[in-house]
Amino acid sequence: MPPQAAPPATVSNKFSFFYGHRKPSQNRRTVRGGLFTNRQTLNPNQNHQYPTTSFDLQKWSPEESVTTPPRRLPSPSQHFFAVAQSLSPIARYIIDSFRKHKHWGPQVVADLNKLRRVTPKLVAEVLKVQSDPIMSSKFFHWAGKQKGYRHDFASYNAFAYCLNRNNQFRAADQVPELMNMQGKPPTEKQFEILIRMHSDSNRGLRVYYVYEKMLKFGVKPRVFLYNRIMDALVKTGHVDLAMSVYSNFKNDGLMEEGVTFMILIKGLCKVGRVKEALGLLNQMRNLCKPDVFAYTAMIRILVSEGDLDGCLRVWKEMESDKVQPDVMAYATLVMGLCKGNRVDKGYEFFKEMKDKRYLIDRAIYGSLIEGFVNDGKVGVACDLLKDLVNSGYRADLMIYNHLIKGLCNVNHVSKAHTLLKVIVEEDLKPDFETVNPMLEMSLIPSVDAYVSLVKGLCKIGEIDSASVLVRECLANVTSGPREFMYFLRIVHTCRLDDANKVMVVINEMVHDGCQPDDVILCAVISGMCQYGTIEEARKVFSGMRECKMLTESDLVIYDDLLIDHMKKKTADLVLSGLKFFRLESKLKAKGSNLLPNLASGRMKKKKTAELVLCGWKFFRFDQSRKGRTLSCQMPS
């Protein structure tokens, strides 16, 4: 009988789900592994397009390859899960409990009591990522109360790091006392951690405080830690404390290193104690010979402090030790001497560099050129420019600016203009400092130019600028225009606050053949706003209208100009007074946009009047001048 064919295989429609790597226990709440299924896909979307793996170099674009989506700041929960990936499961459970409850309390203690035991290693792991100092302290002390538990050095160190990271460095300094109380005397490592924390944050006095505490515990620092302490004190300006630490260093019988001497020498040079620094340099020679880098560091510090005599003394010590200075040492000294107005001495060292065939930087040429220009030796500066170009360098805009300034100072404007053409030919962009010296050498404008400028300013209402130009014209020319002279006479007559006397000057001007125009009317406005009142200014305009010197439309225009100029002057006066008495805060309380509007004089009449009255009350002048100034200066 032939064997029967096997029945066709049927595919089961029943899908099953199961988990992998699952071994849950009381102390293992998070389970590794994932969801597994015998389904073909978990995504019902069958039209999902997967990226192709083929790559065509001809179609590749570097711009497209660097486009990345914008980064977003992680949320607190995302930050927690990012940190939790590097933690053990139990540490993750503790951190998650802190995150949920936010404060130490019975709920947090209940979660911790579910754990069988917390080890010192686990305490250190939690404290390394904890950002709440209060929660960290509570957890640290709770762990110490466990039966048979004792903190180790790792947990103490993590606790100190946690406190310092959260700006509780004073509390971190008390960790050695806590260790000693709990039967774990601190070692040099614990003090080194605290010293390094304070040193990185430039807390020199705290470094010295930890050092004194270290001595009280009978712990003697190594040479490396002594250097760290002295360096922190020197960087924060406590050189005397650093020298006292060095005395203890010597009393402990320790041998200095080259770094030890250089820390102290640089600190002494920074405070100008060059003699003591050279004394330490002599001691350093018994141990090791200072190299060119040590001397260059000393010269750089002395240059930054402006002690050029000390620089030259250190340079002589370097020559006595037969140490060959390099380009950096020469550049530091030459540029320092030029900056300190000793360019001739710097030029001597420059010639030494030329004799030794050193490669001279363009910055050295620039410093020398600037120094010689400031000393008035423009010819030597121009020779240095030729030497710079012959050496293969291209002068920058700053060098050209110094030379143009120097040439203009010695009245060689044509040569300065030639240099300006060179700047343009070399595709350098001249700035204000380039052309300004050739402009501070320009000729005085003509009288017609002054008249045109003043009339133009008066038409647009810039009365103060016009007044400045009037005075400048009369000061620069021998015979100025007559209307400018009458301008000053009218302003001076306005001091009397009498419209009739101002009309006398105007009538005299008309009889003299000078007709009143915009300049004369602006003189009335300027004088009355500065010395008189609006009412008297209006009387002058009315008198000129009766004498047919003004039309009705001109009267309206100049009355508006008078009011605007008075508001601007009043606002400037109040603002200056408030700034003088430092009362801007009281004015700002009335609104954020009042100060700029008050300064520009664009505020409405009512608001300006309120602020002026407020200003007078600040100055306590409201009673003494109430009857005259406020009532007459502010328009109705």
Summarised one tens digit per residue, pLDDT across range 445-490 is 678 878 888 888 888 888 888 888 888 888 877 777 888 888 899 9
The whole-number pLDDT of residue 600 equals 46
The neighbour count for residue 33, using CB atoms within 10 Å, is: 10
Q: How far is 606 from 603, CA to CA, in rounded Å?
A: 8
Q: What is the pLDDT of residue 598?
A: 47
Query: 436 by DSSP, 3-state: which?
Result: helix
Among 86-100, 294-308, 424-438, 524-538, the minimum mean pLDDT is found in 424-438
pLDDT at residue 34 greater than cutoff 70: no
Residue 104: pLDDT above 70?
yes
pLDDT band at 631 (very low <50, low <70, confident <90, very high): very low
Task: Please check the confidence at residue 309 and state whether its pLDDT lies above 60.
Answer: yes
Q: CA 435, CA 400: separation in Å to the nearest integer?
A: 11
Please tell me the predicted confidence (pLDDT) of residue 573.
Answer: 77
Least confident of 35-44, 142-151, 157-166: 35-44
In this structure, are residues 319 and 296 in contact, taking their beta carbons and an 8 Å threshold?
no
Tens of pLDDT, residue by residue over 536-591, are: 889 998 988 888 888 888 888 888 888 888 888 887 777 777 777 766 666 655 54
For residue range 200-239, what is the model confidence (pLDDT) as tens digits? 999 999 999 999 999 999 999 999 999 999 999 999 999 9
Digit-coded pLDDT (tens) for 493-521 = 888 888 899 999 989 888 888 888 888 88
Q: CA-CA distance, 84 to 88, in Å (whole number)?
A: 8
Q: How many residues belong to the chain? A: 636
Per-residue pLDDT averaged across 114-137, rounded?
A: 89
> From the centroid of its chain, how far is CA 569?
36
**pLDDT for res 249:** 92
Per-residue confidence (pLDDT) for residue 599, from 0 to 100: 45
- In the chain, the domains with their CATH numbers are 85-286+294-300 (1.25.40.10), 326-442 (1.25.40.10), 447-633 (no CATH)
* Rounded distance between C-alpha atoms, residue 310 and residue 295, angstroms: 12
97: three-class secondary structure by DSSP: helix
pLDDT at 61: 46
Q: What is the pLDDT of residue 85?
A: 64
Distance separating alpha carbons of residues 342 and 359, to the nearest angstrom: 22
Contacts of 608 (CB under 8 A, 6+ apart): 567, 570, 571, 598, 634
Predicted confidence band of residue 400 (pLDDT cuts 50, 70, 90): very high
The total of other beta-carbon atoms located within 10 Å of residue 535's CB is 14
CB-facing half-sphere around the CA of 147: CA atoms within 13 A: 2
Q: Quick check: helix, strand or coil at residue 28?
A: strand
For residues 605 and 340, the model is more confident at 340
Q: Which residues partner with 37 through β-bridges?
A: 17
**Does residue 269 surpass a pLDDT of 70?**
yes
List phi, psi (to 5°) of 124. -65, -35
Percent of the chain surpassing pLDDT 90: 27
Taking only the tens place, the pLDDT of each residue in 81-93 is: 555 567 888 888 8
Bridge partners (DSSP) of residue 25 are 28
- How confident is residue 605, by pLDDT bands cut at 50, 70 and 90? very low
CA–CA gap between residue 214 and residue 210 (Å, rounded)? 6
pLDDT at 44: 42
Higher pLDDT among residues 321 and 162, named by residue: 162
Alpha helices in 410-512 (DSSP H): 413-425, 432-439, 447-459, 463-476, 482-493, 499-511
Would you say residue 376 has pLDDT above 50? yes
Q: How high is the mean pLDDT of the chain?
A: 79
CA 439 vs CA 178, 405, 444, 445, 450: distances in Å: 74, 11, 11, 12, 17
Confidence of residue 142 (pLDDT cuts 50, 70, 90): very high
Mean pLDDT of all residues in 50-54: 46
Residue 140's Cβ-side half-sphere holds a number of Cα atoms within 13 Å equal to 27
What pLDDT score does 224 carry?
A: 92
3-state DSSP helix/strand/coil % of the chain, to nearest 5: 65, 0, 35
Q: Which of 50-64, 196-210, 328-342, 402-416 has the lowest mean pLDDT?
A: 50-64
Q: How far is CA 185 from CA 41, 155, 191, 430, 482, in A?
A: 62, 14, 11, 69, 96
Look at residues 333, 415, 418 and name the one whose alpha carbon lies nearest to residue 378.
Answer: 415
465: its two tokens:
């600028």
More confident residue, 598 or 99: 99
Instruction: Give pLDDT, residue 403.
Output: 92
pTM above 0.75, yes or no: no
